[in-house]
């Protein structure tokens, strides 16, 4: 893990941003306040209606069963589940035990799951036999001592008859969660957060939310750690009902908003715009979008303006798995700041720009580092600054606007995609001599994967169907598959630096121009 400067530790503790409380102790304290608060899963496969007390009882039965099997502080509990009640049970049980939870996005494929299992080396893995495109991979779990399948007796057998009544205390500065996120590396990076960083992140997010938000539907996958925080921590501190859905179907969500009197608080723009664009959306639905916070992917100004013109209170925010909440607009910020910038620094957060505009950040919710020590050394400096890889500008009032990305990553609907990983899979196709992958603008999802290929002599240009079949055979999650193909004409080359490195900034501009002109592009 990175070395955190002593003066920062003292400051964070003095200000009360870091506390001696573990996540399990934080959860237990707040669960006592609202045992009858509702917990609902809106699912065609595994619906659930209960209370906080019901879910906590099952979580404590699971914690007791795991402790009897030797699971305790520092042990890794991985879970790959949709937005189901059992995901909350597993997360809460891990917190009560002082264990380290590893949430895995339920649509990750065999390639991603294999890397995560080999890297995190969990003692426990909780999943399900199948859900959508996800299927249990027993060979990847051969070395995991404890495996439980939700919907199967193997999960039920892990629950003791008597629940665990205490909470195991551990060092609050120690790891509590490892979140795997794609970026500039071939495989997802394991980002390590502590009880202190997650506890602060939860409290400061809640403080930024408007009061009386009503029942908020969580559709963001809980396999994303920020989805897990939003679903299983913030509502407990707020004593607000938990409402989950495991499939994003705009028509069904609009119906739920009516029957369950739910609202949508925001997230990546797609979760909001797909509802507004649906034919079933009415003015009554729009009234339930009273406050919309957008982040997690590119937020076009046209979207924020559209929402504001509908009478919604809109704001943007900026963060990452490594540093979840860097900037965001406060409720009292001027409209132009909320709509057209990514906000100013969150409480306790500091930012600065390098000479080339790269954003550096540090704060109480900044992670401990990566599992890979080399990645930690590269991304964090000795003064505690995280080098984000994003480029931005600050206005005279200290509000930040993201203008570009140094890191080689595409953000599709809130999901980070490593360009390098996609390039390497493309290079496994016999026809592809060279592949460059960049982001392309997407009206629904913010960005999608665009691949610019140099084809070997004598080979035809692959079609999108060819590429899809190749990625399916490689076991890569569908969200990472290229959705747009372009070809470098014979005799031409990519724009390169003097050292021969492809200039991705120029490639992104070229892809955007070509797509607008319909030149040499194949799209969905």
Would you say residue 101 has pLDDT above 80? Answer: yes
User: Same domain for 93 and 145?
Assistant: yes
Three-state secondary-structure class, residue 523: strand
**Quick one: pLDDT at residue 167?**
96
Specify whether the CB–CB gap between 360 and 353 falls below 8 A: yes
Measured between alpha carbons, how far is residue 354 from residues 2, 72, 184, 390, 397 in Å? 21, 43, 20, 11, 18
Pick from 142-146, 210-214, 358-362, 474-478: least confident: 210-214
What the block records as the tokens of 405 is: 């990305």
Q: How many CA atoms are closer than 13 Å to the CA of 138, on its beta-carbon side?
A: 2
- Domain holding 433, by residue range, is 410-523
What the block records as the tokens of 134 is: 């996800």
Tokens 């069963």: give the residue: 65
| Structural domain includes residue 250 | no
**Quick one: pLDDT at residue 17?**
97
Would you say residue 248 has pLDDT above 80? Answer: yes
Burial zone of 243 (CB within 10 Å; 0-12 exposed, 13-18 middle, 19+ buried): buried
Would you say residue 299 has pLDDT above 80? Answer: no
| Structural domain includes residue 263 | no
User: Same domain for 30 and 123?
Assistant: yes
CA 414/CA 269 separation, integer angstroms? 9
User: Same domain for 491 and 388?
Assistant: no
Beta-strand ranges (E) seen in 9-154 are: 38-42, 48-51, 76-79, 100-103, 124-128, 130-131, 134-135, 146-150
| Structural domain includes residue 95 | yes
Work out the average pLDDT over 400-429. Answer: 84
Would you say residue 176 has pLDDT above 90? Answer: yes
User: Same domain for 158 and 169?
Assistant: yes
Most trustworthy range by pLDDT among 133-137, 207-211, 235-239, 455-459: 235-239
**Quick one: pLDDT at residue 524?**
40
**Quick one: pLDDT at residue 295?**
78
**Quick one: pLDDT at residue 58?**
98
Pick from 175-179, 349-353, 491-495: least confident: 491-495
Specify whether the CB–CB gap between 236 and 27 falls below 8 A: yes
**Quick one: pLDDT at residue 108?**
87
Task: Output the pTM of the full model.
Answer: 0.84
Would you say residue 52 has pLDDT above 60? Answer: yes
| Structural domain includes residue 115 | yes
Would you say residue 129 has pLDDT above 60? Answer: yes
| Structural domain includes residue 285 | no
Q: Which of 407, 425, 450 is the last residue of a domain?
A: 407
User: Same domain for 89 and 237?
Assistant: yes
User: Same domain for 390 and 425?
Assistant: no
**Quick one: pLDDT at residue 70?**
97
| Structural domain includes residue 276 | no
**Quick one: pLDDT at residue 523?**
43
Pick from 7-16, 209-218, 358-367: least confident: 209-218
Q: What is the pLDDT of residues 181-224, one digit of tens each?
A: 876 667 889 999 999 999 999 999 888 777 777 788 988 889 98
Which element (helix H / strand E) includes 208?
Answer: helix 195-208
**Quick one: pLDDT at residue 141?**
92
CA 167/CA 183 separation, integer angstroms? 35
Q: Which of 376, 407, 438 is the last residue of a domain?
A: 407
User: Same domain for 71 and 135?
Assistant: yes
User: Same domain for 159 and 195?
Assistant: yes
What the block records as the tokens of 353 is: 């720009």
| Structural domain includes residue 266 | no
Would you say residue 91 has pLDDT above 80? Answer: yes
Burial zone of 51 (CB within 10 Å; 0-12 exposed, 13-18 middle, 19+ buried): middle
**Quick one: pLDDT at residue 461?**
94
Give the full edge-to-edge strand order of the sheet including 189-194: 146-150, 124-128, 76-79, 100-103, 175-181, 189-194, 369-370
Q: Domain holding 509: CATH number?
A: 3.30.300.30
Q: Which of 407, 422, 437 is the last residue of a domain?
A: 407
User: Same domain for 75 and 219?
Assistant: yes
User: Same domain for 236 and 337?
Assistant: no
User: Same domain for 188 and 234?
Assistant: yes
Pick from 205-219, 348-362, 424-438: least confident: 205-219
Tokens 């600050």: give the residue: 394
Specify whether the CB–CB gap between 414 and 296 falls below 8 A: yes
User: Same domain for 450 and 388?
Assistant: no
Domain count, the chain: 3
| Structural domain includes residue 83 | yes
Would you say residue 414 has pLDDT above 90? Answer: no
Q: Domain holding 350: CATH number?
A: 2.30.38.10
């Amino acid at each position: 893990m990175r070395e955190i400067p002593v003066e920062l530790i003292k400051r964070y503790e003095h200000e009360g941003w870091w506390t001696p409380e573990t996540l399990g102790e934080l959860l237990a304290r707040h669960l006592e306040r609202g045992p009858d608060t509702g917990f609902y899963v809106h699912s065609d496969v595994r619906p659930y209606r209960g209370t906080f007390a019901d879910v906590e009882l099952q979580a404590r039965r699971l914690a007791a069963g795991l402790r009897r099997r030797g699971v305790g502080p520092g042990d890794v509990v991985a879970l790959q589940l949709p937005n189901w009640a059992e995901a909350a049970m597993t997360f809460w049980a891990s917190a009560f035990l002082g264990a380290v939870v590893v949430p895995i996005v339920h649509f990750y494929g065999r390639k991603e799951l294999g890397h995560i299992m080999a890297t995190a080396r969990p003692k426990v893995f909780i999943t399900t036999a199948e859900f959508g495109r996800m299927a249990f991979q027993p060979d990847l779990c051969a070395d995991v001592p404890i495996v439980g399948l939700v919907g199967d007796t193997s999960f039920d057998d892990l629950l003791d008859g008597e629940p665990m009544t205490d909470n195991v205390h551990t060092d609050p500065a120690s790891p509590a969660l490892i979140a795997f996120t794609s970026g500039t590396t071939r495989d997802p990076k394991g980002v390590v957060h502590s009880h202190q960083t997650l506890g602060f992140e939860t409290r400061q997010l809640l403080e930024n939310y408007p009061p009386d938000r009503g029942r908020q539907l969580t559709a963001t996958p809980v396999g994303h750690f920020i989805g897990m925080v939003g679903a299983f921590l913030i509502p407990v501190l707020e004593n607000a009902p938990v409402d989950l859905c495991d499939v994003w179907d705009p028509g069904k969500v609009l119906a739920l908003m009516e029957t369950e009197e739910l609202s949508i608080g925001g997230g990546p723009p797609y979760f909001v715009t797909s509802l507004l664009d649906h034919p079933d959306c009415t003015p009554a639905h729009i009234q339930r979008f009273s406050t919309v916070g957008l982040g997690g992917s590119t937020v076009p100004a046209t979207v924020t303006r559209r929402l504001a013109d509908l009478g919604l209170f809109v704001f943007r925010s900026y963060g990452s798995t490594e540093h979840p909440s860097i900037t965001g607009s406060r409720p009292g910020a001027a409209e132009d700041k909320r709509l057209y910038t990514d906000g100013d620094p969150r409480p306790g957060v500091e930012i600065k720009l390098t000479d080339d505009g790269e954003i550096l950040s540090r704060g109480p919710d900044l992670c401990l580092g990566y599992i890979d020590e080399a990645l930690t050394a590269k991304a964090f400096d000795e003064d505690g600054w995280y080098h984000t890889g994003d480029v931005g500008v600050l206005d005279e009032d200290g509000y930040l606007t993201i203008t570009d990305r140094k890191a080689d990553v595409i953000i599709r609907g809130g999901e980070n995609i490593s360009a390098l990983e996609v390039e390497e899979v493309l290079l496994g196709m016999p026809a592809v001599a060279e592949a460059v992958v960049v982001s392309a603008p997407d009206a629904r999802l913010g960005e999608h994967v665009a691949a610019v290929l140099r084809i070997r002599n004598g080979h035809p240009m692959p079609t999108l169907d060819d590429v899809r079949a190749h990625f399916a055979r490689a076991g890569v999650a569908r969200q990472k598959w290229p959705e747009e193909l372009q070809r470098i004409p014979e005799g031409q080359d990519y724009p390169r630096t003097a050292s021969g490195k492809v200039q991705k900034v120029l490639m992104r501009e070229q892809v955007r121009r070509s797509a607008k002109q319909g030149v040499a592009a194949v799209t969905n």
